[in-house]
Amino acid sequence: MRHLAVFLAVAICALASGSRAAEPVTTASLVASMSDLEALTRLPAPGTRVVQFSSYDRRSSMPGGPGWFGNADGFGGEPIPGFESVAKEPGPDGVGTYVICDVQQPGAIVRTWTAAIDGTIRVYLDGSATPVYDGPAYDFLMHHATALGKAAGLSEDEDALKSLAAFEQRYSDYFPIPFARSCRIEWIGDLKRVHFYHVQLKLFPAGTPVTPYSPAELMNAREAITASAKALRDPAPAPNTTTREASVTVPPHEERQLLALEGQGAVRGLDVVVNGHSVETVLRGVLLKVSFDGHETPQIVAPIGDFFGAAPGRVPFQTLPMAVDPRGVMSCRFVMPHERSAVFTAVNTTDTAADVTIRAATGPYAWDDRSMHLRARWRVDHDLTARGGPNAVDLPFLAARGTGVYVGTAVYIMNPCPVPTAGGNWWGEGDEKVFVDGEDRPSIFGTGSEDYFNYAWSESDIFQYPYFAQPICTGPDTRGYITNTRWHISDAIPFESSIDFAMELFAHTPTPHLSYARISYWYGRPGSTESAPGVNTADLRVPALPAWTVRAAGGATNASIFEAEAARDPEVPSAVVEHPQYSAGAMARFTGGEGVLRVTAPAAGRYRVVLTCVSGEGPVGFDAKIGDHALKLRGGERFEIRPEPFTRILNLWTEPVELAAGEQTLRIGNIEDPQNAGVGVDFVWLRPEK
């Protein structure tokens, strides 16, 4: 993490070199820029930086050295407090004051995040003794847009207040807070209690005119807030564009040009549809190559599905720069400028033909000495063994030299861990580490992969927000296929000479044969280079989930597990469906009025019954009971399974019940199944509760 001396050095260097004249930065201008994708194509003023303060494990001080993969990053009681300094030692109640950041140059808070945090946060801007925020730490890190809006009197403007929710994206808040000279953030709390945090700052060159945040400035930004929220939630097609379209059949193991654009301009929207014998195979096995301005090494090289965030198969989602609609149209809204030309080609590495339809919305663009090309290069490691602790590894995402801006990350995981819960099969305990311009230590050091992707607690939910998404997680929990994306728009990371981005692979349970594909998206000036291996055509495959049998470990430790196809009552109608995605290669599907399973409690006691079910083509609801006990889900009595565009395995956790020792009858009844999808059960487990 950069300290005050480094910040001052950056400011002095920027002042000495003479930064570009800039329009005043205001709350309104920062809000308006949050959906401005064209702005990413031009270099920011020299000296602009994006840094992150977080509760990362402070033992991680030397790359590759002792503690480099430390994981004490906010749980409480860390060996070294996860803050920049101590402002006030704790009193008898254990509460002290700790400095999150103390920056002496103009800038803006552009992202905050927490998974959970106790205590209070105070935010001081420009040396004022009165904080602009003084309240619960949790509310600031996750919901400061709404908190500040209400404090400013925005409650009377219902549309603007509702619009603020667009900036609060899951566990993060992107609402900007500018400052003209300094920003100091303090946490008042007990170090023994949980305190996860990220605070990301965009720092401007010394002398940049900034109008600092105030309630009046927020009120002045109401129109920008409403307009930006709409643009974030429902991106509109680029105006004043001309559509170029082509449909090309690419024979197996051949390359075909899809589209060639001549002259100066920019692609402001790219839509692609791919069809073939197997959609999953062609989306991974057809390479998209894009070469701008005659470059012999294409700036974009990626499997066509992965480039758009669709993998494996067509998984619908929408974010600001990338989307896939239910019809299979894959869209990219990142602006792709070119000074002389842009050529799009497809290389089909599969054994069958692929049909590709491409539509490019093109428009004028004034290329200048600040303009950059979009770059994206796919890489993958198949058959990794994921481990934790000192056996974790830093996976390279990007190693680039030159001048540019980092704008996004996508990862595609195949996790074969046989533990049935995220509390055991979680693959992403590792932190992101971003070294900019030759830093000895990263100026962005995270606290976990899911934290980087703006969620927490290894959640398996399906979600989408303007700046990130998890469109697929096949389960149970974080086993199977998982896709995560995050787009750096308001927090795009500039670099003037180099950037090195790595993510730890740190797993809860040692897991062989894990596959980890990823893409880094960035803009670079002509002449920028990256160190990346060429794409090995043998790697252009969706790795199959290996056959598996569920293991009673992690969150299922001490559980008794019963495969549904073996535990079903033979007298009650049911079907067995075989597929490697299911434990022991099969699951039971009940399509009649009820389902009956025989399970055994090893001893009398209190158990939590978990039904590990499979999503179907339509919504399914049912009730369940074991013996005389009606089973109740956490938060409700009715079991509900919603349809997904992919096969998904879900752990349905019930409230604890008292069971006698011996065989138990588990009944599934009152089935509501409008599309006759059936209730699919992979396995059932009884976990003793203390």
pLDDT score of 10 more than 70: no
pLDDT score of 4 more than 70: no
pLDDT in tens, 540-551: 999 999 999 999
Hey, what's the torsion of the CAs at 303, 309, 310, 311, to 10 degrees?
A: 70
Question: Among the listed ranges 308-312, 367-371, 376-380, 497-501, which one has the minimum average pLDDT value?
Answer: 308-312
- What is the DSSP secondary structure assignment for residue 349, as one 8-state letter? -
| pLDDT score, position 533 | 82
pLDDT in tens, 392-449: 999 999 999 999 999 999 999 999 999 999 999 999 999 999 999 999 999 999 999 9
pLDDT in tens, 216-254: 999 999 999 999 999 999 999 999 999 999 999 999 999
Residue 378 near residue 519 (C-beta atoms within 8 A) = yes
Residue 508 near residue 388 (C-beta atoms within 8 A) = yes
pLDDT in tens, 302-340: 999 999 998 798 999 999 999 999 999 999 999 999 999
Count of residues in the chain: 690
Annotate 414-457 with three-state secondary structure. EECCCCCCHHHHCCECCCEEEEECCCCCCCEECCCHHHHCCCCC
pLDDT score of 41 more than 50: yes
**pLDDT exceeding 90 applies to what percent of the chain?**
90
Residue 94 near residue 87 (C-beta atoms within 8 A) = no
Mean pLDDT of the chain: 94
| pLDDT score, position 305 | 97
Give the tokens for residue 17: 């070199």
Helix (H) or strand (E) holding 11: helix 4-17
pLDDT score of 1 more than 70: no
452: three-class secondary structure by DSSP: helix
Greater model confidence, 6 or 53? 53
| pLDDT score, position 413 | 98
pLDDT in tens, 151-161: 998 877 778 88
Cα 486-491-496 angle, rounded to 5 deg:
110
State which amino acid sits at residue 677: A
**What's the mean pLDDT in 52-57?**
98
pLDDT in tens, 109-134: 999 999 999 999 999 999 999 999 99
| pLDDT score, position 158 | 78
Q: How confident is the model at residue 687 (pLDDT cuts 50, 70, 90)?
A: very high
Give the tokens for residue 345: 């080609």
| pLDDT score, position 18 | 40
User: pTM for the complete prediction?
Assistant: 0.95
Cis peptide before 312 (omega within 30 of 0): yes
**What's the mean pLDDT in 498-523?**
98
| pLDDT score, position 11 | 40
State which amino acid sits at residue 456: A
| pLDDT score, position 22 | 56
Q: How confident is the model at residue 17 (pLDDT cuts 50, 70, 90)?
A: very low
Helix (H) or strand (E) holding 511: strand 511-524
Q: Dihedrals φ, ψ of 598, to 5°?
A: -105, 120
**What's the mean pLDDT in 653-664?**
96
Q: How confident is the model at residue 8 (pLDDT cuts 50, 70, 90)?
A: very low
Q: How confident is the model at residue 471 (pLDDT cuts 50, 70, 90)?
A: very high
What domains can you pick out in the chain, each with its CATH number? 4-233 (no CATH), 241-363 (2.60.120.1390), 375-535 (2.60.120.1390), 558-688 (2.60.120.260)
Q: How confident is the model at residue 485 (pLDDT cuts 50, 70, 90)?
A: very high
Give the tokens for residue 116: 């959970």
